[in-house]
Each structure stands twice: as structure tokens, then as C-alpha cells.
Amino acid sequence: MANLSSSAIDEFKALTRGQVVLPGDPSFDEARSIWNGMIDRRPAIIVRCAGTADVRRAVNFARDNQLLLAVRGGGHNIAGSGVCEDGMLLDLSPMKSARIDPVARRAYVEPGCLLRDFDHEAQAFGLATPLGINSTTGVAGLTLGGGFGWLSRRFGMTVDNLISADVVTADGEMIRCSADSHEDLFWAIRGGGGNFGVVTMFEFRLHEVGPQVYGGLVVLPMDQARDALVKYRAAFETWPDELTVWAVARFAPPLPFLPADVHGKPIIAFAVCYTGPAANGPAVVDEVRRFGTPYGEHLGPMPYTAWQQAFDPLLTPGARNYWKSHNLATLDDGLIDAFVDAIGNLPSPQCEIFFGAIGGQTMRVAPDATAYSNRDAKYVMNVHGRWTEAADDERCIAWSRAFFDASAPFALGSVYVNFMTEEESGRVGAAYGPNYARLVAVKDRYDPHNLFRHNQNIKPSALA
């Protein structure tokens, strides 16, 4: 156990506005749990921060007591970086304020906010910024890794819409960084993860979106997947930025618009979100409907907030998850063949593979404009291994790795840092490519002793 005296803990608790949770406390197990059920770690102390003062004091306490420090926002990170063994868990989840300025079109968002919290406030004014596709994801971790979702083809990566941030650095100081202040730190946090400090406030640019969008699902039999993906690949090149279509293959969940005899069969689903005028939606998405002969479809106008939550039932917390990911410039014929083979061997009802189409505005930004450098990625592929029982670990992980290896010859070689598992620290350089050396220089300035290392770590020069 970490060597913490009871007097030091008592003094720390007395000076903390939030809650300090210790092993043995009734709320300890709940406080240490995160989204990925494969991660089971027991911190020595958990600090549920009520505000920036708590964050600063916790950072100082961890540094002064040489505690391993894990920072949790939404707790959704696949690698489990939001909780550590025998150190301090700095829990930001109580910090959930999201303030919208509808005139300036700005959002001021604390790091405990989930996507649904942000969207709830912003959509009250018909505004949004690009976020992810699962509303229980934390805004902080998503943003710091780059961030993309249904709006990214139109408005760019999440970090492309970040205006400023308040950051508590390793020395316990708070810095506001932007394009005009601490520009090096502002550049680094836009994709560099939690390597440089704890962000206690994000300022985002907002755009007019919704409150209604046109979208839904077109679900095809798996035996039509090869032809459908060839058509998808061609259509992608002509679509407006307002249209985003992702391809997902898995066993069919019990969706109400699918015949009962389709439930549990392998399918490929095209998930559609069109944010242009809703009246234009049917004509714009008609091409997707003609990729094959669907088992069923569910398309129409719906609230943007509803679409942002549409996949939540398939991504509930507590399951065991293992991911492998590639960035792609195209869907090569060989990749499609490997994909069809992999779906023919799905190891659990929850496993899936998706191609997340980005491109559009995400590719119109220079690779060195932000720490996120993968501006040549038209698609982000994720092998999403997901299952319930520990006895299935070996089989499901092996399946994920096998398709990852089979698809590697058709990939760019880079990777989206938020999709990297705990074992993939060797790919950190691939995540940042030509920006890695500059990130190390920023790390040397703001965290030379690597206090913030429980992440996909960018090591300072002295420790490299």
C-alpha cells in the first residue's frame, strides 16, 4: 500500500471540499469502477473533486507523497487510465457544469461532463460541437485525445473546436491556455491526452445543429456486405460534409424494426446522420438505402440528442472490452475480404467491427496545427471485442488481434490514441507521428518528472 500516514490523510480530507474515499469506505468499490469491466484496480485514495481548488490540492498531495496519479473524467477510456493501483484516483466526475453562451456560441464545460450533459445544455439553444457517438463518454478524455463523431465531417475534430482550456499543471498551478497564451500547451492538449496536466475547464466553439437531424439505420444481411462496402466506398467520395455514414458489422441486436428471425444473425448496418435541412434528408440518404436489399431500415427526422444516445444500449458499463484500431485512407478490396472473414467468426454476441467515416473538414487542417496529426485518415477502424464472462477473454482477444493483424497491410500505420488499449504503449509514437518530438518538448516544460504518466504516456526527455 502507498505509505500515507493517517494524519496526512486527515489533514488532506479537512482541506478538501469534495469527498475523499478510502479502501474500506462503503462507496469505495463504486468510486473505483470504470466503464471497461476488465479493469479492476484498487487505489490507495480517491479524491472526488468539487472544483479547481480540490484539483490543485490533490495534484500537490500526489506529487509530494510520490503517489501514482490517475485522472478520471467519464471513466470511459478503454485502457483504464482513469484508475490506478495503490495510488491516487483524482476523480473529476462531480465537476459537471456546462454553461452555454448562445450569443457568442461558446460552451464552458467542466471535465466531469458526459457527452449527454454537454448536449443537453447546448441543444436547448440548437447548438452543438463535434463529440463522440456514445453519450456516456466523458467530454474531457474524448477531447484530449482528438475527438470525432457524427459532426466531424462538417465541423472537424473536437480539438479543432477548442478555444481555450484551464489546466492544472504538475506544480499545482493553474494556467489558461489558448492560441494567444501558453500556445505550446494549448497545441499539446489538442490530441496529446492527459500528459500535461488536469484540464478543469474547456471552452468550445458551437455551431447551429438540430434540434432535429435526419438519420437512422439501414441493416443488410452479411452476405451483401462485400458489395455494399464497395458501393459505400465510392459514395463516400461524393457525399456532402453534412452527411456521415458509419458501417458496423455484428450480430443483429433485437431492434424493433427488424424481423424476429433476423435477431442474432450477422449483419452489416449503415448508421446515418444528416445535419443539413431535414426536408432534404430522404433524397440525400437514398443512396445508402440502395447499397443492398435491407433486412430492415429505420430512417427519419429525430432529435440530435436522441441520435447521440442511440448506441448507448450496446455500450453499457461493466462488460469486458478489448479494442484494436487502425486509421485508413481507403477501404481496400483486401481489407473488405478480411473484414467479411472476421465477421464470419464473431466470438461473442457483442463483438463488432466498425468503420467510422470522418474525412471532410477533419482533413482540411494541417497535421502540425494540433497534436492530433492523423489528418489523412478518412476512416477510423475499430475492432470492438466485447463480452461478459472472464472465461471468454482469451478467445475474444485472439479474434480481435487476428483481424487487426489481417487488416494492417491496408492501414496507414497510425492510430487514434483514444482507441489504444493498455498494452499498446509501443504505438504512442504511431499515434502522434511527426508531432511526437514537439510533444516531448512540451512535456519537458510542463511535466519534466512525469507525474501525469498513467496514460498513453509521452515520456519527458530525462526518462525516455
Residue 116 pLDDT: 98
- Domain CATH for 162: 3.30.465.10
User: Do residue 76 and residue 155 come from a single domain?
Assistant: no
Question: So what's the pLDDT on residue 353?
Answer: 98
CATH code (residue 40): 3.30.43.10
Q: How many CA atoms lie within 13 A of 143 on its CB side?
A: 33
Q: For 449-459, write each residue's pLDDT tens digit.
A: 999 999 999 99
Respond yes or no on whether the N-terminal peptide bond of residue 211 is cis (omega within 30° of 0): yes
Is residue 229 within 8 A of residue 246, CB to CB? The reply is no
Domain of residue 312: give its range: 212-424
Total residue length of the chain: 464
All cell numbers assigned to 430: 504511431
75: nearest Cα among 29, 32, 21, 41: 32
- State mean pLDDT over 144-166: 98
pLDDT tens digits, residue range 198-225?
999 999 999 999 999 999 999 999 999 9
Say if CB 226 and CB 324 are below 8 A apart: no
What cell was used for 136? Answer: 456516456
C-alpha cell of residue 453: 504518466
Q: Are 268 and 252 in contact (CB under 8 A)?
A: no
Distance CA 211, CA 47 (A): 37
Q: How confident is the model at residue 428 (pLDDT cuts 50, 70, 90)?
A: very high
pLDDT above 60 for 1: no
Q: Tens of pLDDT along 237-277?
A: 999 999 999 999 999 999 999 999 999 999 999 999 999 99
Domain end position, chosen among 69, 91, 113 = 91
* 183 and 275 inside one domain: no
Percent of the chain with pLDDT over 70: 100
Q: What's the angle, vertex CA 189, arms to CA 183 and CA 195, rounded to 5?
A: 120
The answer on pLDDT for 38 being more than 60 is: yes
Predicted pLDDT at 81: 97
Q: Give which of 268, 248, 250 is closest to 387, Cα–Cα.
A: 250
Grid cell, residue 82, equals 482513469
Statement to judge: residues 410 and 441 lie in one domain: no
Query: What's the whole-number mean pLDDT along residues 46-71?
Result: 98
User: Is residue 61 scored above 90 in pLDDT?
Assistant: yes
Report DSSP state, residue 20: E
Alpha-carbon distance of 360 to 329, in angstroms, equals 12
pTM: 0.97
CA 384 remoteness from chain centre: 13
Asked whether the beta carbons of 247 and 153 are under 8 A apart, the reply is no
Q: Does 282 share its domain with 416?
A: yes
Q: What is the mean pLDDT of residues 409-423?
A: 97
Same domain for 182 and 300, yes or no, is no
Contact 107, 129 (CB under 8 A): yes
**Complete DSSP assignment for 235-304:** HHTT--TTEEEEEEEEEPP--TTS-GGGTTSEEEEEEEEE-S-GGGHHHHHHHHHTSS--SEEEEEEEEH
* C-alpha span between 436 and 452 (Å, rounded): 17
Query: Could you tell me if 237 and 345 lie in one domain?
Result: yes
Q: Is residue 376 part of a domain?
A: yes
| Judgement on whether residues 412 and 443 belong to the same structural domain of the protein | no
Same domain assignment for residues 250 and 299: yes
Distance CA 462, CA 48 (A): 32
Is 357 part of a structural domain of the chain? yes
Q: Show which of 91, 115, 141 is a domain's final residue.
A: 91
Asked whether residue 145 falls in the same domain as residue 267, the answer is no
Alpha-carbon span 164 to 329, nearest angstrom: 31
Q: How far apart are alpha carbons 352 and 323 in whole angstroms?
A: 10
Residue 18 maps to a domain: yes
Q: Is residue 1 part of a domain?
A: no
User: Using CA atoms, how far apart are residues 73 and 261, in angstroms rounded to an integer?
Assistant: 41
Instruction: State how many domains the chain has.
Output: 3
- For position 433, what pLDDT does the model report? 96
Domain annotation covers residue 273: yes
Confidence of residue 438 (pLDDT cuts 50, 70, 90): very high
Sign for the pseudo-dihedral over CA of 168, 174, 178, 182: negative
Please report the pLDDT score of residue 415 as a whole number: 97
Domain contains 177:
yes
The reported pLDDT for the residue numbered 27 is: 97
Domain final residue, candidates 91, 114, 129: 91
Cβ–Cβ < 8 Å for 288, 245: yes
pLDDT(88) > 80: yes
The answer on 108 and 36 residing in a single domain is no
Q: For residue 319, what are the CA distances in angstroms to 40, 354, 393? A: 12, 18, 11
> Distance (Å, rounded) from C-alpha 90 to C-alpha 45?
9
The pLDDT tens digits of the residues spanning 319-346 come to 999 999 999 999 999 999 999 999 999 9
Position 3 confidence tier, pLDDT thresholds 50, 70, 90: confident
Q: Answer yes or no: is 429 within a domain.
A: no
Same domain, 102 and 78: no
Whose cell is 485502457? That residue is 79
CATH number of the domain that residue 286 is part of: 3.40.462.20
Q: Is 454 within a domain?
A: no
Strands lying side by side in the sheet with 266-274: 296-303, 212-221, 266-274, 243-251, 352-357, 379-387, 320-328
Alpha-carbon distance of 42 to 57, in angstroms, equals 21
- What is the distance of C-alpha 174 from the center of its chain? 25
Q: Are 145 and 117 in contact (CB under 8 A)?
A: no
For the chain, give the mean pLDDT: 97
Give residue-wise pLDDT tens across range 224-236: 999 999 999 999 9
Q: Are 108 and 73 in the same domain?
A: no
Q: How far apart are CA 416 and CA 438, in angstroms?
A: 18
